[in-house]
Amino acid sequence: MNLLEELVRGPDFVKSDHLSGSILCSAPLLRVDVWQEAFDRYDPFADSESSLSVEQQQYRSDLSVDRYLYDTLALEFQLLATWIEENPNHPAAAQVESFLKRREQLGAQSRIEQQERLFLWAQRNEPDEIAASILGWRLLCDDLAECLLDWALQQPHDLRWQHIRLWQQSRGFYPQNRLRIWALRFLEDARAPQILAWESAINREIFEAHPELLTVTQ
């Protein structure tokens, strides 16, 4: 049994939107809605080039959305870190401090580009067990991203929906990128720990067998 089979054996992946705690809403604290502003500012045609095929355009757009989501969460972390320094005795301080502990897990933005390297290597080495797991992980994340997007379309007033609005045109060529960022932002969601556990398990196996594939700062 390969790693992917071990990850998905037993019950289907978690689809429940149950919350283990309250989600931090940073807008009242920062006096700016970081995610709403990000959605309003995003230009889907900023990186478009008429010389590229539709498929190439979509690929570039997918990675652009992934980077944009990363940058927005990084900004939210930065603004909240400043806020907690200025408001250490605020009633929401404990929740903000807990939320900021996730900042280290965000890692470097180069993790987004890393998925391309893993995917291309896996395609070239598909008989390899790790390669099969990498490709299967991508498909597994695509299924979950589709379920999450379908759920979000029915929940337009849920805070978790704000983050997913940029997914509407595509679930992403490497859906694990945006799933990971979503999971870090909404770790209270029952689906989030599963997403991060999949990535940790895959990365652990890759590091043990092919550490040269994980050269970026984690």
Domain ranges within the chain, ordered by starting residue? 23-213
Distance CA 57, CA 51 (A): 9
Residues with Cβ < 8 Å from 44, sequence gap 6 or more? Answer: 61, 64, 169
Per DSSP, what are the bridge partners of residue 19? 189
Rounded mean pLDDT of 119-134?
92
pLDDT for residue 4 is more than 80 = no
pLDDT for 10 equals 46
Query: What pLDDT was estimated at residue 166?
Result: 85
Supply the pLDDT for residue 26: 97
Q: Quick one: pLDDT at residue 2? A: 55
pLDDT of residue 13: 67
For residue 55, name the pLDDT band (cuts at 50, 70, 90). confident
Rounding to the nearest 10 degrees, give the CA dihedral for residues 189, 193, 194, 200: 150
Q: Can you read off the two tokens belonging to residue 209?
A: 């067998």
Say how many Å lie between the first and final Cα of the chain, rounded: 27
Residue 8 — very low, low, confident or very high, per pLDDT cuts 50/70/90?
Answer: low
